[in-house]
Amino acid sequence: MNYRMIRNVIGRIMCVEAAFMVPALLISLYDKESGAVTGFLVTIALLLAAGLPMALIRTVRRGFYAREGFVIVGLAWLVVSLFGGLPFFISGDIPNFVDCIFESVSGFTTTGSSILTDVESLPRGLLYWRSFAHWLGGMGVLVFILALSPLTRGKGDEMHLLRAESPGVIKGKLVPHMHQSAMLLYKIYIGLTVVQIIFLAFGRIPLFDAVTITFGTAGTGGFAIKNDSMMSYSPYIQVVTTVFMIIFATNFNIFYFILIREFKKCLKNEELRAYLAIILVSIAAITINISSRYASVGETIRHSAFQVASIISTSGYASTDFDLWPEFSKGILVLLMFIGASAGSTGGGIKVIRILVMFKAGKRAIYKAIHPRGVKLVHLDGEVMEEEIVSSVQSYMMIYFLIFFASLLLVTVDGFSFETNFTAVAACFNNVGPGLAGVGPTMNYSQFSMFSKIVLCLDMLFGRLELFPMLILFYPSTWKK
Amino acid sequence: MKIVIVGAGKVGSTLADQLTREGHDIILIDNDRDVVRRISDELDVLTVYGNGASLDVQKDADVEHSGLLIAVTPQDELNLMCCILARKLGCQNTIARVRNPEYARQSYFLKDELGLSMIVNPEWTTAREIFRLMQFPAFMKRDSFAKGRADIVEILIKEGSFLDGVVLRELHKKMSIRVLVCAVQRESEVIIPDGSFRLEAGDKIYVTAPTTDLVELTRIIGAKNHKAKNVLIIGGSRIAEYLTDMLIKTGARVKIIEKDYERSLFLAETFPEAIIINADGSSQGVLRAENAAQVDTLITLTNMDEENLIISFYANHIGVPQVITKVNRTEYTELFRDKGIYRAFSPKLMCADNIIRYVRAMQNTEGSAILSLHHLVNDQVHALECNVTEKTLHLGKTLAEIQLKPNLLVACINRMGRVIIPSGKDTLRVGDTVVVVTTTDRVILDLNDIFVQEV
C-alpha cells in the first residue's frame, strides 16, 4: 500500500476543501453571522493545519494501483464529509454532532436528506455551504483535483481514481490524457451550471436562491433553502429546474459528443434512449393517475414531470407534496429511486445502464433455456459487452441489495412504519433525499435515532461511491502488507 | 492475349482450362512442384514454379508483356502483392481474389488505390447468388443478364405439371407472358430446342424471361412463391456470414448451427439478431432439437461436401420446402441431382465464371463483342451476352430470315432498357445487347460467329 501517496492526496483534498469554504465564509461575514464565521474560520484552520503538512509529503510514484485508487477515494470522502460537518457544529446552529455529519454527508453525496426541521432559520453562509457541497460532490472531489493538476505526470495512475469516484459500468476516457478528461468534464459541468443560473435569474428570484437551486440541481442533490422545497417558486422556475435535473442526470459523455458534433453517437446511445423513455412513460402514467388533483392539464403535467425528473435524477426537490399522491404514482416514484440516473452523470441510484445490462442478461438467460447450446452475447450500443462486465454488474446488484436489506433491518429498530423505513433507506442509498410517509417531501430525518442516522450516512456514501471504494475500506486484506 | 495466373488451385486450374480453350496464352505460376508438374501434364499451358509475388518469378513469367494477371492463391495479401507488383512491371489489368470480409468491405478502396481491375470474392458472390435464388424458390438456378433486367431460370417439369407434353410452338397460347425455352436437359442429353420440341415430365428447362415477369411465371407453373422467413444455416462459414447479413436486412429469422465455439462466438458478436447454436449440425438430434422441420429454407454451408449432402438429404426427407447445398467438388453434380439435391452451389466455379466474364468483357474492348458468359446445365450450355455493333452482319433482317448455326438461339434482346423475348419477326439493331444460348462445344468469340457464313 502506497501510504505516502494516500496521505499526499488526502492532504491536498483538505486544502482544496478549505479553499472552497472561503465563499461561504465571505457570505457569513457579509451577513455578520458571528457563529457561522467562527465555524468556517475554525474549520478552515483545522483543515489547513492537518492538510498542508500532508500535502507537502513527497510522493513515490511506484506502487499506485487500483487498490490505492479505491482506498484514496473512500478515505477522501470520509474526511471531506467529517470536516464539512464541522461549521454546522462549531457555529452551534446544529447542536448534535451526528446531525452535522448527516447534513454534510447528505450534501457531498448529493442526497439532499436533511435533519433540519426549519431550514429557513439557518444562516445563509451555512445554507450556501450545504448547497455548494452538492455541486462539489456531484462531479467528484477527486475528479476536481485531477482537473486542477495531474498527480503523476503521464503515468496514467489517475485512471484508478476516476474509475473509483465516477459512477458507471464502463469508464473510458474521452481524450488521451486523464487530466484533460477530468478538465473537460468540469468545463462541461461549470458551463451547464452557469447556463442554469442565468435561466433561473430570468425568473426574478434572488441571486442567492438561483445559485443554491442550481447547485442542488447540478449535483442532483436537492437541498432547498425553503422549508417547502420548490413548492413556492413560480412555474417558470420549476420548469427550468425540471429540464436541468434531466440534463444533469444524463451521461456527460453525451454532451462531449454534442460538443464535437458526433450526433450519431448520441442517437445510438442505448442508455440515453432508455433513460428518456423511462422518463416519458413515467410522466405519462403519473399524469393520468393524478389528473383529478390539479386544476389544469398543464399543472398536472408540470408537477408530474417535476417529480419524475427529481426522483430519477436522484435530486429530490419537490414541487408538490407527492406523498399525498395515489399509491400507483408513489409506486412509480419509488421504482425510479432505484433505477436512478445515467452512468457518468452526477446522479445516483442503480443507474439506467445497469438496469439495461441486467435486462439483457435476463433475456439471454431465457434464451439459453430455450437453446441450451445457443451462443448469445450481450450487445450494447451495437458493440459486444464483455462477459466480465456483465457478471460484474450482476455481482454489483447482489451486493447492492445485500447492503440495502441489511440497512433496512438496522433502521427498523427505530420502530417507524415500513413505508417510512423502506423509503428512507432507498432515498439515502440512492442519493435521492426525500422518501414517503415519515420521510416525505415535507418531513425530514430528524426523528431517527443516532444509530439509524449513522447507518443512513454510510448508505449515502456507499450509494454515491457505488459500493466498492467504501467496501474496500472495510475489507481486511486491503490493509495487509 | 497473354494471361498470367498465380495459384494453381481449383479456381486457378479451372480458369487456365477455360481460358486456354478460348485461345489465350496461359502462364500458370505456383509454388508447389507437384501441382506444377501435374498441371503441365493435364493442360496446354506454360507453368512456372515459384512464389508469384517475387519479382524474378514474375519476370520469368513475362508479366510485363502480359495483358492480364489473375492472382488466386489462398492468401489475400499475397494476391494483392502479386497484383501491385504486376502493375508496376507494366501489366495493364490485374485481378485479385480477396476473401477476408474485413478487406472485402474496403474492396472499392483497394481497387482504386492499388490500381486493380477487379477484386473477386467467391464467398460473397456465392452468398449473393444464394440470396437471389431464395427470392424465387420455384427456380433451381437463376442467371441475370442485361444489367439484371432479364433472367434465365431453371425449372424442373414435374409429373402432372401443365408444361408436361406441351409443344414449344404452342407454349405462348398457354401463358399470359412471353417466355422462351432456350435449353432443355433430358436425362443427360442437352438440347437447344426449336418450335417443334415437346416438353416431358422430368425435363429441366431453361427459360428466359424479363425479371419483372418472374413472379407471374412462378404463378403460372403452379409453384408456391413463399419468401424465406425462417432460414436455418448449417455451418457458419464466410458464405454464411455474408448471407446472414443480407437475410437479416430483409427481416428473415436466421438460425446458424456452427460446430466451432470461437466461430459461434464471433457470429453471435456480429449478428445479435440471429440465433447462433454451437453444435454439430450434421447430427440428427441437433437438427431435431432446433426444429429443422419447421423452417422454410435450409442451407448447408459446412466445409465438408459429404456433410452438406447428408444434411440436405435429411432436409429433403423431412420435407423442408427449400434446400440449398454448397458443394466444392463439381464432378458428381449429376449423381446427387438425380437424388433430389437440385440446388447445389460451387463457390469456386462461380469465382471462375466471374473472372472469365471479365476476360470476355476485356476482349470486347479489343474488338470482340461479348459482354458476359454464363454456364448452364453443368457447363454444357453457355449463355453469352453480346453487343450488336455496326460490324454485326444481317442488321435489319428478321430473325426468321437469318440462318443461325445449329444448336444455337437468340434468347433475349435488350433494346434501350426494354427486354424483348424474340420471335421470328424481331430484328437486330445497333445498340442492342442480345443473349445467345449455345452448347459448349462451339466457341463463340464474336457475335458474327453465330451466323452461318455464306462463303
pLDDT tens-digit map of A404-425:
999 999 999 998 999 999 999 9
pLDDT of res. A154: 54
| Contact between B234 and B227 (Cβ < 8 Å) | no
Average pLDDT of the residues of chain B: 84
Strand runs labelled E in B35-149: 46-49, 68-71, 93-97, 118-120, 141-145
| Contact between A480 and A82 (Cβ < 8 Å) | no
B286: which chain A residues are within 8 Å (Cβ-Cβ)? Answer: 373
A379: which chain B residues are within 8 Å (Cβ-Cβ)? Answer: 272
pLDDT of res. B110: 80
pLDDT tens-digit map of A160-193:
777 777 766 666 667 777 778 888 888 899 999 9
pLDDT of res. B296: 86
Q: Which residue of A has its CA nearest to B280?
A: A373
pLDDT of res. B323: 87
pLDDT of res. A84: 93
The torsion of the CA quartet B445, B448, B452, B455, rounded to 10 degrees, works out to -100
Q: Which of B269, B272, B275 sits opposite A374 (nearest CB)?
A: B275
CA-based nearest residue to B214, from B159, B144, B164, B162: B144
Q: Which of B269, B279, B286 sits opposite A377 (nearest CB)?
A: B269
Mean pLDDT of A349-374: 91
Question: Which residues of B make CB contacts under 8 Å with A?
Answer: 261, 264-265, 267-269, 272, 275-279, 286, 290
Mean pLDDT of B392-414: 84
pLDDT of res. A173: 66
How far is residue B79 from each of residues B72, B74, B106, B112, B434, measured CA to CA in Å?
6, 8, 15, 16, 35
Q: Which residue of A has its CA nearest to B261?
A: A375
pLDDT interval class at B328 (50, 70, 90): confident
pLDDT tens-digit map of B265-310:
999 988 988 999 999 988 888 888 888 888 888 999 998 888 998 8
For the cut 60, the answer to whether the pLDDT of residue B455 exceeds it is no
CA-based nearest residue to A396, from A346, A345, A357, A342: A357
For the cut 70, the answer to whether the pLDDT of residue A155 exceeds it is no
Q: Which of B265, B272, B278 sits opposite A373 (nearest CB)?
A: B278
How far does B9 lie from chain A, in Å, by closest CA?
A: 35
The whole-angstrom distance between residue B415's C-alpha and the CA centroid of its chain comes to 24
Mean pLDDT of A284-306: 92
Q: Which residue of A has its CA nearest to B255?
A: A374
pLDDT tens-digit map of B422-438:
888 888 888 888 888 88
Q: Do B268 and A376 touch (CB under 8 A)?
A: yes
At B372, phi and psi to the nearest 5? Answer: -155, 165
Residue B261, classed as helix, strand or coil, is: helix
Q: Do B276 and A379 touch (CB under 8 A)?
A: no
Separation CA A112–CA A348 (nearest Å): 12
pLDDT tens-digit map of B231-278:
999 998 889 999 999 899 888 899 999 999 999 999 998 898 899 999
For the cut 70, the answer to whether the pLDDT of residue A60 exceeds it is no
Number of A to B CB contacts under 8 A, please give it: 28
pLDDT of res. B39: 87
For the cut 60, the answer to whether the pLDDT of residue B368 exceeds it is no
pLDDT interval class at B30 (50, 70, 90): very high
Q: Do A373 and B277 touch (CB under 8 A)?
A: yes
Mean pLDDT of B353-371: 72
pLDDT of res. A81: 93
Structural domains in chain B, sorted by start: 2-120 (3.40.50.720), 230-320 (3.40.50.720), 359-450 (3.30.70.1450)
| Contact between B16 and B83 (Cβ < 8 Å) | no
Q: Do A373 and B275 touch (CB under 8 A)?
A: no
Q: What is the strand order of the sheet B189-191 is part of?
A: B141-145, B150-156, B204-210, B180-186, B189-191
Mean pLDDT of A132-145: 86
pLDDT interval class at A442 (50, 70, 90): confident
Q: Do B272 and A374 touch (CB under 8 A)?
A: no
Domain ranges of chain A: 388-478
For the cut 60, the answer to whether the pLDDT of residue B45 exceeds it is yes
Q: Which residue of A has its CA nearest to B274?
A: A376
Q: Do A371 and B269 touch (CB under 8 A)?
A: no
Mutate to test the interface with B, among A360, A364, A370, A373 (most CBs of B within 10 A): A373
Give the number of other CB atoms < 10 A from CB of residue B68.
Answer: 24
For the cut 80, the answer to whether the pLDDT of residue A76 exceeds it is yes
pLDDT interval class at A303 (50, 70, 90): very high
Q: What is the pTM of this model?
A: 0.80
Mean pLDDT of B38-60: 88
| Percent of chain A residues topping a pLDDT of 70 | 95
For the cut 80, the answer to whether the pLDDT of residue B167 exceeds it is yes
How far does A375 lie from chain B, in Å, by closest CA?
A: 5
Q: Which residue of B has its CA nearest to A381?
A: B272
Q: How far apart are the first and last CA of chain A?
A: 7
Q: Which residue of B has its CA nearest to A382?
A: B272
Hey, what amino acid is at A391? S
pLDDT of res. A481: 66
For the cut 70, the answer to whether the pLDDT of residue A152 exceeds it is no
pLDDT tens-digit map of B169-225:
888 777 778 888 888 888 778 888 888 888 888 888 888 888 888 888 887 777 666
Mutate to test the interface with A, among B259, B267, B270, B275 (most CBs of A within 10 A): B275
